[in-house]
């Protein structure tokens, strides 16, 4: 019998790529999503595959379904979305995590938790190793997500200690690629859309704050390696690309790669916005034999093309700026 895998948040950006990859590995995939930030368009092309099933369900409500493995990706993940309803965000990460853990306990299923680099807050250690306990504002506007994910990690390890639940916990650093939500406020999608429209790119602060960006294919490959790792490897393990760059450098790169006429505008830095974010991936290299393979320019080409086609279909841009880039500047 084929192994049945449950993916919560499976219609989201990373979740949809994970569903596709699992199907290609000959698993049966049950995709659960309440479509708060996930989109049917992300999984529409999977609907005709016999081993794929979509269920519209909110993990805040209990689940009861057969499964051998669970990937828990259910949660809004960008400030724009998780601050719309911070109480809902907290419930998704706490009550939702309790519900998927209860399902894993009842079914004796292995369960994966997609945690986040946000558990480190605005770090005063750089790069961030898994042993670092973070610098998080528990009452700030981002706390519903940051503290929600920290609470979820607590639940996962308590279930592991109390019930011997097989857990796999990873901390995701900035990830990008096709199927990102265009309105979610993430820096790469924001910059690409504005560049394709020749509108100003908004850089907060002076743009010197840094991030490390991992292409979605690399991230999904790491997820599966983590799930398939020996039982004693529980995590948490950092997953991300350690190549660090400033937000200003990213803006200039996207303007250049999309042949855009956009300017750069500077805006006030948001509350609790981290100044630096870079993963220490020593554990991922040693325990999972994983590290990112897709270079930033290669990943940006694919992401620019995705948004270019989306905007053209919506009648928002004319021409194909990214195709011009690919012809004139091959890698």
Task: List the catalytic residues.
Answer: 145
What is the phi/psi pair of residue 177, to 5°?
Answer: 150, 180
Helix H or strand E encompassing 114: strand 110-116
Spell 313-329 as b/e; 16+ CB within 10 A means b: eeeebeeebbeebeeee
Q: What span, in angstroms and rounded, lies between the C-alpha atoms of 214 and 170?
A: 14
Closest by Cα among 227, 235, 190 to 211: 190
Q: What span, in angstroms and rounded, lies between the C-alpha atoms of 102 and 67?
A: 12
Which pair of tokens denotes residue 268? 């006030």
Which residue do the tokens 């790069």 mark? 127
Contact 200, 262 (CB under 8 A): yes
3-state SS assignment for residue 169: strand
């Amino acid at each position: 019998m084929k192994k049945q895998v449950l993916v919560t948040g499976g219609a989201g950006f990373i979740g949809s790529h994970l569903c596709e990859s699992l199907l290609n590995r000959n698993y049966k995939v049950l995709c659960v999503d309440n479509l708060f930030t996930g989109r049917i368009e992300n999984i529409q092309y999977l609907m005709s595959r016999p081993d794929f099933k979509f269920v519209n369900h909110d993990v805040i409500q209990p689940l009861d379904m057969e499964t051998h493995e669970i990937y828990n990706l259910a949660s809004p993940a960008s400030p724009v979305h998780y601050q719309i309803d911070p109480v809902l965000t907290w419930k998704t990460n706490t009550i939702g995590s309790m519900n998927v853990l209860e399902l894993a306990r009842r079914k004796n299923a292995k369960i994966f938790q997609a945690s986040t680099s946000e558990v480190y807050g605005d770090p005063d250690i750089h790069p961030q190793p898994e042993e670092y306990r973070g610098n998080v504002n528990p009452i700030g506007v981002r706390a519903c997500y940051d503290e929600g994910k920290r609470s979820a990690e607590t639940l996962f390890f308590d279930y592991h200690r109390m019930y011997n639940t097989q857990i796999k916990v990873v901390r995701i650093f900035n990830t990008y690629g096709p199927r990102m939500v265009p309105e979610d406020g993430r820096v790469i999608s924001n910059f690409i859309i504005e560049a394709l429209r020749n509108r100003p790119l908004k850089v907060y602060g002076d743009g010197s704050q840094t991030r490390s960006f991992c292409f979605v294919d690399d991230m999904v490959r790491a997820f599966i390696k983590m799930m398939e790792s020996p039982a004693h490897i529980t995590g948490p393990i950092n997953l991300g690309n350690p190549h660090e760059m400033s937000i200003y450098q990213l803006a200039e790169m996207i303007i250049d790669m999309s042949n855009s006429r956009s300017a750069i505008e500077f805006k006030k830095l948001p509350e609790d916005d981290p100044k630096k974010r870079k993963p220490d991936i020593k554990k991922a290299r040693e325990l999972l034999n994983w590290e990112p393979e897709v270079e930033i320019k290669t990943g940006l080409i694919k992401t620019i093309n995705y948004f270019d086609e989306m905007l053209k279909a919506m009648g928002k841009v004319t021409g194909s700026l990214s195709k011009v880039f690919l012809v004139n500047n091959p890698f």
